[in-house]
Structure 1
C-alpha cells in the first residue's frame, strides 16, 4: 500500500530500528538453552519417536515444551516487535543424528508458526548446502551454492536456520535492520525513498507453476497498520531483466540498490552473527536483511557445511496488504501466507526411522 509522501518521508522509529554493533539489548535477541530446556526437548523427542508420527505431521501439541514454549513466545515477540532476529544457542547437534536434529528444529519452530513451501517442489524442511551449482544457472537459488549472498530477504514472515555443520572457512551470516537502512536512504537520498513503494519484478528462478509468468510483481516496501515492511533481493530483481515482458530498471533504481547495499554492509549497520554448530537463527524477513559471505568446505562429505532451513508464517504476525505479496500465494495473517506455491506438494525426504536419542 502506497502511503502519502508525508508519511514516507518520516524516519522509522522503535525497537525494530537499530544499528550495529548493539541491536537493542543482547538479552533480547541472544538466548541460551538451559538444562531444563534440554531435558524438555529430550522428552518431546522420545514422545514423538514412541508415537511414530512423521516429522511433517508433528505439531506443537505433539512436541510439548512446558518452559521453553514460554521462551519461544518471547522470541516471537522479539521477531515481530523487537530487533527482528533471535539466536538460540546450546543444542548439542554433534551428539545426535540428523533426523533427531531435524525433529528438534521442526518441533521448536511449531511453537512459533506454520512452515510454508520453500520451492516449487513443495519442500517445507529444506537443506542449505553447496550442490556445486552457481547462480549463473537461472534455475539455481543461493542456498544451493557456496557463493556470497548479498543482503536480501526471503519469501516468508520468518527465516529459520539450524546449523548442523559449519564450513571450513567463510560462510559468515550478517543481519541489518531494514528500518535503519530505510532511514539512512531517507537521510542521504530522500528522492529515492518513494521508489521502494512502486511495483518491481523479481525472477521466479524457473519455479513458476504451469501457466504462470516466470517472474512476479510486487512492491519492495509498504507502510501498513503502523508498521514498515520491506523485501529486497537484488539478484532476483536484476535477473528478471532477461524477460522481455519485464520493464527495464532505470538508473534511479540502480542508485537505490547500490545505496541500500552499501548501507546494509557497512560496519555502522551490519551485525555479524556468531552462528555455529547447534545454533538456531530466526530472522523476520519484513524487518531484517541478511547476507552470507562465500565459503570453503571441507573435502570430506560428512564434514561439509550443512544447515536446515524453514520458512515460517508467524502465528501472531503483522497484518499486510494483499499487494505486498503480489501474486505469491497467501496474503493475510495466518497459515499459508508467503512461500512458493508448489507444483505438486512433495515432502523432502527425511529418515524418521532413526531412534537415536537426543544427546546420545
Structure 2
C-alpha cells in the first residue's frame, strides 16, 4: 500500500542544512587520524589476517578498534543526524597492498553499517576507475568512466570512498546539502516542490533481475519521521525515457531538474573537497548530493586513479516510508535497504590489483 504523502512546504532546518562557504575554512567535518589510531587499524588488520578470514565474512567484531570506536559512533551520528558527511584523513594506504587497504576500509565500514550490493554482479566492495566505457552506453555506471559526474545520489544510505591512487589531474569531488538545495527550490519555485514527491522513473541500467522492469518507479523526495530524504540522478531519470512504458518528462520536470543542477553547483551552496590519497569520504545519500569533475589519468596502469567504494545500510538509519525504495527493496534496516539485487553472486569487485579474489569472500566463483 502506498503511504500518505506529506509534503514539506516550509524550509528544512537543523544541522543537515549547511552552505559550503560556511564550512570551507573549517575542519569540523574532518577527522585526522593520530598515529595511535593508525596503529590500531593495523593491529585490527593483523587480527583479520591471523584468522584467515575472507573479507566478506569480516564483521565489526572481527576488526577490533576500541580506541576508535567512539569516533566511529560519532561519525555514524553525524552521518544520520548531523551535516551528513565526514572526511577521514589520512589512512596511509601507501604502506599497504590493495588487499590490505581493502580490509581496513571494509572493517571500518562494518563498524558503521551493513554493506549492500552495488551492482547486479553482487559486488560489495567496488573499484571506481576508468574502464574506457562511454556514458552513452546504458549499461555504464559513473564509477566506470573518467567523464565528469553531475550532482547525484547513490543507491544506499551511505556512500564510502577510499582513495588509493589519485588521477593525474581533475577528479575534484564536490558535496552539497540536499536540504539547502530543497530550501532554495522552495524559495524560488514553490510550485515545483510537490513534483519532487511524485513517482519518477529511474533507469536500472540493465541491472534488473530477469523478469523485472528495467526501471524503478520511486519518489525523489520524502518527508518522513521529521527528516527530509532526497534522491536525484538526472542521467538515470533521462535515460529511463528510452522505455516506451515510462511517461514522458513534462516541461515542469525539466525545469525542476535544471534548477536542482543550478543550485547544487552554485558557489553559495557547494563545498569542494580535496580528496587525496589515503582520504576516506563518507556521506549520507539521503542528505548530501555529490559530483566529480572529469579527470586526466596517467598512462601507466599501475599509477591510474583507483578509489575503493562501499554502499552501506546504517544500523541506526532513518525510518523511510514503504514506497521509498519502490517495489525492489524492503524499507527496514540491513540487507535489502538500498543496493542492487544480485543476480546470482555476492562478491568483491574483481580487480587485477587484488590478485586471487577468492580470498576476499566470493560465495560462488565469478562468471567470466
Query: What is the TM-score of this pair, normalised by structure 1?
Result: 0.95
Q: Please give the alpha-carbon distance, in whole angstroms, between the structure 2 residues aligned to 1:2 and 1:283.
A: 28
Q: Please give the alpha-carbon distance, in whole angstroms, between the structure 1 residues aligned to 2:140 and 2:328.
A: 19
Is residue 22 from structure 1 mapped to residue 29 from structure 2 by the alignment? Answer: no
Partner in structure 2 of residue 345 of structure 1 = 345
SS of 1:324's partner is: coil
Q: Please give the alpha-carbon distance, in whole angstroms, between the structure 2 residues aligned to 1:307 and 1:171.
A: 11
Is residue 241 from structure 1 mapped to residue 275 from structure 2 by the alignment? Answer: no
Q: Please give the alpha-carbon distance, in whole angstroms, between the structure 1 residues aligned to 2:311 and 2:12.
A: 26
CA contact (8 A) 1:100 1:354 kept: no
Is residue 205 from structure 1 mapped to residue 200 from structure 2 by the alignment? Answer: no
Partner in structure 2 of residue 33 of structure 1 = 33
* Structure-2 change in CA distance of 1:296 and 1:223 (3 Å): same
Partner in structure 1 of residue 257 of structure 2 = 257
The count of aligned residue pairs is 353
Q: Please give the alpha-carbon distance, in whole angstroms, between the structure 2 residues aligned to 1:230 and 1:97.
A: 37
CA contact (8 A) 2:117 2:346 kept: no
Q: Please give the alpha-carbon distance, in whole angstroms, between the structure 2 residues aligned to 1:345 and 1:174.
A: 33
Where has structure 1 moved over 6 Å in runs of 4 or more?
A: 352-355
TM superposition shift of 1:233: 0.2
1:317-336 aligned at under 5 Å gives the runs 317-336=317-336
TM superposition shift of 1:25: 9.3
Partner in structure 2 of residue 175 of structure 1 = 175
Partner in structure 1 of residue 365 of structure 2 = none
CA contact (8 A) 2:16 2:179 kept: yes
CA contact (8 A) 1:158 1:285 kept: yes
CA contact (8 A) 1:114 1:336 kept: no
TM superposition shift of 1:208: 0.7
Q: Please give the alpha-carbon distance, in whole angstroms, between the structure 1 residues aligned to 2:4 and 2:33.
A: 42
Q: Please give the alpha-carbon distance, in whole angstroms, between the structure 2 residues aligned to 1:42 and 1:354.
A: 22
SS of 1:262's partner is: helix
Is residue 192 from structure 1 mapped to residue 197 from structure 2 by the alignment? Answer: no
CA contact (8 A) 1:17 1:177 kept: yes
Partner in structure 2 of residue 358 of structure 1 = none
CA contact (8 A) 1:151 1:261 kept: yes
RMSD between aligned residues: 1.7
TM superposition shift of 1:186: 0.3
Query: What is the TM-score of this pair, normalised by structure 2?
Result: 0.93
SS of 1:118's partner is: coil
* Structure-2 change in CA distance of 1:74 and 1:136 (3 Å): same
Q: Please give the alpha-carbon distance, in whole angstroms, between the structure 2 residues aligned to 1:24 and 1:167.
A: 23
1:75-94 aligned at under 5 Å gives the runs 75-94=75-94
Partner in structure 1 of residue 43 of structure 2 = 43
* Structure-2 change in CA distance of 1:223 and 1:24 (3 Å): farther
Partner in structure 2 of residue 98 of structure 1 = 98
TM superposition shift of 1:176: 0.3
Q: Please give the alpha-carbon distance, in whole angstroms, between the structure 1 residues aligned to 2:297 and 2:27.
A: 32
Q: Which runs of 5+ in 2 are unaligned?
A: 360-368
Partner in structure 1 of residue 112 of structure 2 = 112
CA contact (8 A) 1:328 1:339 kept: no
TM superposition shift of 1:146: 0.6
Q: Please give the alpha-carbon distance, in whole angstroms, between the structure 2 residues aligned to 1:335 and 1:213.
A: 21
Partner in structure 1 of residue 124 of structure 2 = 124
Provide Cα deviations, 1:218-268, integer angstroms capped at 9, x if missing partner: 000000001000000000000000000000000000000000000000101
CA contact (8 A) 2:113 2:312 kept: yes
* Structure-2 change in CA distance of 1:291 and 1:353 (3 Å): closer
Partner in structure 1 of residue 164 of structure 2 = 164
Provide Cα deviations, 1:114-137, integer angstroms capped at 9, x if missing partner: 000000000000000000001111
TM superposition shift of 1:36: 1.2
CA contact (8 A) 1:222 1:230 kept: yes
* Structure-2 change in CA distance of 1:316 and 1:265 (3 Å): same
CA contact (8 A) 2:24 2:271 kept: no
Partner in structure 2 of residue 278 of structure 1 = 278
Q: Please give the alpha-carbon distance, in whole angstroms, between the structure 2 residues aligned to 1:19 and 1:188.
A: 17
CA contact (8 A) 1:157 1:312 kept: yes
